[in-house]
Amino acid sequence: MGEFELIRRYFAAAACAQAAPGVALGIGDDCALLEVPAGEQLAISTDTMVAGVHFPDPSDPFLLAQRALAAAASDLAAMGATPLGFTLALTLPAAEPAWLASFARGLDCKARECGLALIGGDTTRGPLCITLSVFGRVPAGLALRRDGARPGDLVCVGGPLGDAAGALALVLGQRQAPAEIASPLLARYWSPRPQLSLGVALRGRASAALDVSDGLLADCGHIAAASGVALCIERDRVPLSAPLRRLLDAPAALACALGGGDDYVLAFTLPPRFLAALQAEWPLRVIGRVEAGSGVHLLDDAGREVEPPAGGYQHFGSPRD
Amino acid sequence: MGEFELIRRYFAAAACAQAAPGVALGIGDDCALLEVPAGEQLAISTDTMVAGVHFPDPSDPFLLAQRALAAAASDLAAMGATPLGFTLALTLPAAEPAWLASFARGLDCKARECGLALIGGDTTRGPLCITLSVFGRVPAGLALRRDGARPGDLVCVGGPLGDAAGALALVLGQRQAPAEIASPLLARYWSPRPQLSLGVALRGRASAALDVSDGLLADCGHIAAASGVALCIERDRVPLSAPLRRLLDAPAALACALGGGDDYVLAFTLPPRFLAALQAEWPLRVIGRVEAGSGVHLLDDAGREVEPPAGGYQHFGSPRD
């Protein structure tokens, strides 16, 4: 038995330890088998992260696994899907037990947090590269798509933006900060928490949704294009976390929030009648409105359109590139 | 828009051109959505191929795409699943239009042959690496697993073995052969035909099944271990193709058939009462029988156990490594 066969058994053991409702057959056969209840659809997303492109190489394997799975699971949140399972395609230069043990622990932690069971995959030798496919279920017709935004809807986000982009200089060792600032930002970068419960709560309410991974303005542009509407974002209503505001000056923090990816916060459009009930449970922020037209428009506090701030963050991390 | 975003649009256009029953939402949102009919389960498999590890680098992109998708789809055949769709995670060093066009054509050809629709994926920059996840549906309880072989069952294969292993020296340019020998062997290597219809026909009949990808003896070992039985293979009944027998001497051809991977022919165990009906439709070959015990035993024409022939093929291609 080769070392890579041993790795497969290692992950298989980890997978068996997880409760896995909906998983009829897990690792070990030619295919895994998932159950999808009648009246529901299966949601599927695939994300790849390449060493040196989407994360620094080397990176801590525990953190890396958490970040890769969180990024993939966030696509389930963006569709309003209930997590079922995931497959791991892991390509790595050598089978180092300590690295693998740490990677598997990180994967297991995030998988439990997200309610995702490891159901299969492949382990191969080559340059470090991680492809995760995630599977969830959603009642037919209730998936949160990008094409339903209508004029009059509110534009909302599920929490503060820009933390991951702001953290990047810390991740790369280009900047130092006291622990009370650096720690929460680094946690947002390395272990984003996919907003899975919020996604489920938005079913039947949000008219369009996605997770912010390319940057708020770019992602709002995807909704505008798919829905055939304009999204108007009020610059001063974009939420910034306290640590980000302490790390960076106001223009730089705003640039991170508007252009940085990797926060994996949900952005969505919402008919106003649903706002009160959702805000009672979730720390949503209304940041703008949907209008007739096209594109994304950034407005100042007087309602005048302004240019997005330039720069302010480095792009090294979105699995979409 | 970056070049990789353009690539995604390129594949998206190709995906839309395909008929896609069971695909409620394809490329372009956070997730794809699949419909799984009531009473059926979703079969999922993921395979990675890395340049220089699982295929020569460079390789013809048209052929490479065909081989990668065939290898992945073969896992659906091995479960008796009806193909639905697949995701492509393609990591490549640069976006070369000619390479991509050829790769997309190869992918499209094999996808149509297999009845698989491209439903999503990711395109990233990095060392060439292809991860395919394939999805199929199978009536609940009828998937072909590895753990049902029982003493008294026949051991069968869906066709000749060893062609892909025999072709490898031709692929690598280490050996020459006349076109009437080389062409069919190279076709088996670069464009294996997953035995999807045979897999469906085996539902409710075969007691265990898989596709031969690690080599016949190794794969029979997987069935023996999962089922808790012994598989006895009669050496002289293992089918060899005419081109393979012309390319290699008898011991070398047999070594390819017993140890070479990448043929993606089904190997399965079958209660004898089902044999006649299946043989009327499929060119099956009975190569042995299941007995009480453990492991895989190779027998000569007098029923004596013999050692497998050594060597005779090079291993450079199974996506299981």
CATH of the domain at A277: 3.90.650.10
Compute the radius of gyration of chain B from its Cα atoms. Answer: 20
For residue B285, give Cα distances in angstroms to B154, B159, B233, B279: 10, 7, 12, 8
Using CA atoms, how far apart are residues A163 and A177, in angstroms rounded to an integer? 14
Picking from A98, A115, A139, the residue at the C-terminal end of a domain is A139
Q: Are B254 and B165 in the same domain?
A: yes
Q: Are A124 and A41 in the same domain?
A: yes
Comparison of pLDDT for B301 and B9, the residue scoring more: B301
pLDDT tops 80 at residue B187 = yes
Q: Which residues of A touch B143 (CB under 8 A)?
A: 25, 31, 33
For testing contact with chain B, the best of A1, A27, A29, A88 (most B CBs within 10 A): A29
Cβ distance of B53 and A125 shorter than 8 Å: yes
| Helix (H/G/I), strand (E/B), else coil: B35 | strand
Is residue A312 included in any domain, yes or no? no
Q: Are B163 and B246 in the same domain?
A: yes
Is residue B312 included in any domain, yes or no? no
- Name the residue among A41, A79, A87 with its Cβ closest to that of B35: A41
Using CA atoms, how far apart are residues B126 and B121, in angstroms rounded to an integer? 16
Q: Are A271 and A227 in the same domain?
A: yes
Q: What is the DSSP string of A136-150?
A: EEEETT----SS---
pLDDT (average), residues B272-278: 97
Q: Are B220 and B187 in the same domain?
A: yes
- CA-CA-CA-CA torsion sign (B235, B238, B242, B248): negative
Beta bridge partners of residue A211, listed in sequence order:
A266
Q: Are A84 and A201 in the same domain?
A: no
* Nearest Cα to Cα of residue B125 among B89, B96, B99, B94: B94
Using CA atoms, how far apart are residues B24 and B30, in angstroms rounded to an integer? 13
Cβ distance of A120 and B44 shorter than 8 Å: yes
Using CA atoms, how far apart are residues A62 and A55, in angstroms rounded to an integer? 13
Cβ distance of B32 and A41 shorter than 8 Å: no
Burial class of residue A318 (count of CB atoms within 10 Å of its CB; 0-12, 13-18, 19+): buried
Is residue B315 included in any domain, yes or no? no
Using CA atoms, how far apart are residues A204 and A247, in angstroms rounded to an integer? 38
Alpha carbon of A108: minimum distance to chain B alpha carbons (Å): 19
Q: Which residues of chain A have pLDDT under 50?
A: 1, 17, 312-321
Is residue A318 included in any domain, yes or no? no
Question: Domain residues for A236?
Answer: 154-299
pLDDT tops 80 at residue B60 = yes
Given this model, what pLDDT does residue B1 score?
A: 47
Domain count, chain A: 2
* Nearest Cα to Cα of residue B83 among B142, B42, B132: B42
Which amino acid is present at A61? P
* Nearest Cα to Cα of residue B43 among A138, A120, A122, A89: A120
Q: Are B133 and B161 in the same domain?
A: no
Given this model, what pLDDT does residue B314 score?
A: 40
Q: Are B193 and B272 in the same domain?
A: yes
Q: What is the DSSP string of B149-170?
A: --TTPEEEESS--SHHHHHHHH
Q: Are B177 and B132 in the same domain?
A: no
- CATH code of residue A122: 3.30.1330.10
For residue B216, give Cα distances in angstroms to B170, B228, B266: 21, 18, 10
Is residue B278 included in any domain, yes or no? yes
Picking from A139, A162, A188, the residue at the C-terminal end of a domain is A139
* Nearest Cα to Cα of residue A289 among A164, A175, A149, A154: A154
pLDDT tens string B119-169: 998 999 999 999 999 999 999 999 999 999 999 999 999 999 999 999 999
Q: Are A178 and A291 in the same domain?
A: yes
Is residue A295 included in any domain, yes or no? yes
Backbone φ and ψ for B213, nearest 5 degrees, come out as -130, -25
Is residue B149 included in any domain, yes or no? no
Q: Which residues of A touch B87 (CB under 8 A)?
A: 44, 46, 133
Using CA atoms, how far apart are residues A299 and B170, in angstroms rounded to an integer? 64
Question: Residue with structure tokens 């640039």?
Answer: A255
Q: Are A167 and A207 in the same domain?
A: yes
- Name the residue among A28, A48, A226 with its Cβ closest to that of B91: A48
Is residue B282 included in any domain, yes or no? yes
Do the beta carbons of residue B87 and residue B119 sit within 8 Å?
yes
Please check if A269 is assigned to a binding site: no
What is the DSSP pairing of strand A82-92 with strand A32-35? unpaired
pLDDT tens string B231-261: 999 999 999 999 999 999 999 999 999 998 8
Q: Are B126 and B23 in the same domain?
A: yes
- Name the residue among B24, B30, B136 with its Cβ closest to that of A210: B30
A/B interface, count of CB pairs below 8 Å: 201
Cβ distance of B44 and A87 shorter than 8 Å: yes
pLDDT tops 60 at residue B207 = yes
Q: Which residues of A touch B200 (CB under 8 A)?
A: none
Picking from A139, A164, A198, the residue at the C-terminal end of a domain is A139
